[in-house]
Structure 1
């Protein structure tokens, strides 16, 4: 079970770090790639990017270092909130095909949250 949790944590960390990095450090590139970014303020997109970066780091660092490992399930909880809001945004914008990957990532984040709480 621990190996499965680590595999999922690394996958989610890479996804959140890549997405957050693009939103924070490559806003212009993100503006052209993600339709919802065009309808949002730069400050909001940057905020979401920083939250993604924190979630990505939270999936790996606490458990890897052994320092405050209880932060990993909390990072998974925070990522779950981000993903629920992302699904809601895509449904509101009638972008159902964009919501489907977020639902899959939400299931993985919930798996990590439950697995690391116990």
Structure 2
């Protein structure tokens, strides 16, 4: 089970790190052109903040476990990413973007799995 939790953490990091870096570094207009239309209604600062939080969450699900330092941050970071994905799913449902639900739903399941495992029976 520990291996499955590590795989989930790496998938979460692989999903959130590039997305967060894009949101933190590119303009909102560029992101909308790249297919992230739901970000178009957010203020520029909110998009940048979301990107920063996603980058920190991606690092938070990996680095504590890899270094053995402050390992309680791993499930906390996963919980934060889960909250982001709940909001993402809700936004896509509200906008009737049903074809865009798969990725946030999978990331939500992986984040919840990581929270359960790292807070529960498979804590570091």
Same fold (TM over 0.5): yes
TM-score normalised by length of structure 2? 0.89
Q: Deviations over 1:90-110 (max 9, x none)?
A: 111111111222111101111
**Which residue number in structure 2 is paired with residue 73 of structure 1?**
75
Name the CA distance, whole Å, in 2 between partners of 1:48 and 1:114: 24
> Which has the larger share of helix?
1
Find the partner of 2:51 among 45, 49, 52. 49
User: 2:5 aligned with 1:11, yes or no?
Assistant: no
Aligned residue pairs total 118
- Given that 1:22 and 1:29 are in contact with CA atoms closer than 8 Å, whether structure 2 keeps it comes out as no
Deviates more, 1:99-108 or 1:80-89: 99-108
RMSD over equivalenced CA pairs, Å = 1.1
TM-score normalised by length of structure 1? 0.94
Name the CA distance, whole Å, in 2 between partners of 1:31 and 1:46: 14
**Which residue number in structure 2 is paired with residue 86 of structure 1?**
88
Name the CA distance, whole Å, in 2 between partners of 1:107 and 1:31: 26
